[in-house]
Structure 1
Amino acid sequence: MKKMFLMAAFCCTAALQAQDYYVVTGDNVNVRSQPVTGKVVGKVSSVNSFTGWDAGNGWVNFRIPSVSGAISDKFVRKVALRDFSRSMLGEYMGKAPLPVSYSMGTLSEREGYVVLQVTDYTEPDGESGLRGHMSHVYAGIPNKDGISFTHYLYPYSEDKPLVQQMADAGPLEQPYEFVVTEEGELRAYDRVLELQKSAGSQGAKMTERDIYMLKGNVKQARLIRVYPENMMKSLQEEEDGNHPLCNFCNIMRFSPDGKITYYEGQKSTVGKLEQVDSFTYTYDGKKVAVNGKRYGQPFQATYTREDGEFGIRYEGNFRAGEFSAGLIDCQYAVNMDGVPFHVVYGSTTPPFVAYGNGESYEATFRYGENSTLPESMDFSLDYGGDSWNYDGCEIRAVKTDEHGNWTERMVYVDGQPIFKEIQTIVYY
């Protein structure tokens, strides 16, 4: 269950510089190894787009799977991105690199995932007049600005469960990322798709309630998690008191529109719970200020909050006590059913709600017939350069309230109970 990993500090120039999204405006445009005098390392065309950063003197650096280098800014234009919405489901036409002449496809939702079915057609053959074609099917999850397709499905069946097909196919080495441009196009590094007929409608924006799987007009949620006492004692002895698992109680309050306004965290390895965190959240448009205490020391954070239908992004900085400070750059996403497949809760990333004594708590959820209540999960905690992993956890004995929120559940690993959770919810 324990996994060691190496923590390394490094500096990446691209990450430190402001990045923008660019669309190539020409065809057969040279990409050079470095601005102006670098050798030609590849070519791009108007179907290509990418995240790039200013290299100075009228050049832009970028990296995509097919080529990386520098391109003159005479052949690109900077575009803004907009939120992905359910209204973008529907029928599409578009383009891909030669020899593709045009593409036709559909974007749909299935089992909480987004499914792209697209067929590429070549120019007619000179002798027969027939067009060659090739079809592709991708499945993935939405985010604030687009879709991250994680699986390529071949063959694809409408009759077989999608999750089973994804498990059989295995994930792509790198997700096939699409963004939504200000013009409403869906763009990947090598493809552009334009919506012809919408099959969906715009939905409500994601809130902090969604991050914690809370349905309805929740005013306050009080979550208690308790691990078996003998297990806690054994783990603490093994790790000299440094195991990140602990009993905890998290109290969160929300505004009527779903923003978190207060958080209180109580923790204990054995014995009585003691208050560790107490934060208040103040909103001024997209700007958020957090003030409070952690382990008796002052805690402050300021950041911007960008919300979309399927994602929330936070960017800013925090300071914890006199010696700990850092940057904030994180986001959360929900699937097409409005619940997360995967989350990472961090002690130094908004909303700063802790699920143990470690720096972060990571969880992956799997759903069954009830698409909004998970049946199983994997979770891990990171602390001091180590990671403790608990995979294949079954969620049993689930009780719910009239709003569909769970109020009590047990979690098992290898048939043995690992923790119990009780959630008390107050509604507006």
Structure 2
Amino acid sequence: MDPNSENPSQNPNNPRSPAMEETLDEVSKERDLLLKERSDLEARVSESSDTIRAAFARINERIGEENWNPEEKSIVEMVLEVEAKIVEYVEKRKKEKKELENSIVSLTEENRDVNSLLRIALSEKEAVEKRVKGGGEQKRVGAILQIAERGLQKVGFGFMMGAAAVVAGESQLDQPSTSSGSTKSDGSECEEEVISLAATVEKIMRNLRLQISDLRRALDESRLDNEHLQILADKQAKKITETTLHIINLEEREKMLALNVEELMADITEAREEVARWREACELEVKAGKVAIEEREKEVGMLQQDLERTKAALEAASNKLLMKERLAATAMAAQAAAEASLQLADRRSAELRDQIEELTRQVEEEADHSKKEHRKSSRKRVRHVCWPWRALKLTPNWQGTGDGGGASWVRGRNKKMLPDMEGLLHHM
């Protein structure tokens, strides 16, 4: 192969323009930068996702998903949703990236084919120039066009060129001494072929420029998407950092809760032991209480019996009291009757006293008369007089009176009471 074809950028006869070279280099650099940013972003997202999943796995292992509070569940759901969206976005961008890479690869291959085509054309042009040094300008152009056509046909670009023109070109190369009419026709055909080749190259370059502009537009869109994804990734990284801090706080709280649970378990164990002791003591107290209740029931039975006896005694005492009250009332009535009887007796005694005095007076008169009679007759004596002083316990009291003596009857101190009065006073 020609050494000029190994490094086409250093070849002065390289048909690519500097603007095209610069554009392709810029596109390649931007593509590489975009791919690098995408790879970094995907690595960060993957690392964040792995970190979140590892943290969630640790939390699930320690506290379990069923012990999460609503706030933690909402955070986990939000992070998982964001992760799913990021994964979906990354997959979408991967597809777009693959499509862009395929289009870039196809354009690169097409550019390479064009470069190889032009290099082949230049190499054949140099070979023809070496072989045909003394030929005219038209022959040179025809040979160049034929060489270019062969090169384009080799790389796949077919031009609708007549076979007669090719044969004419070959006959021009083999037989330089042809007629002037055939030379003119060959020159016009060469001009048409040059115009067709120029139009084809121009069309190819236009298509390349359009594809480059499309690639730039896609690159700008991808850059905007990358910026948006970068902002979203930063936000998610911030949220992930906050979530990580929250997870760390939850882990610390979990440790504290574990310590508290251990302390509570120890307290519960001590409380259970204390409850067992208290239960035994309560059972003993219950047994002692049952024994005491039985004793108290016995005592209550005895007290009830005593109460019944006391009630009976109280009833008897109340009956006696009623009887005493009745007796007292009867005694009071008897006393009133006795007082009435005494008053009556006093009246009767007063009357009797008056009678006695009258009788005493009569007796005295009779005594005086009897003395007088005694004097007259000593034989006649009064041996018994029926007077009521014996029944009334009256004793004669002979006292001297002022007229020379006489007898006065005095009532005795001891009164004889009625039998009913004596019975009432005995009961009282």
TM range (shorter): under 0.3
> Which protein has the bigger strand share?
1
Query: Relative contact order (C-alpha < 8 Å, sep 6+): which is higher?
Result: 2
Larger radius of gyration: 2
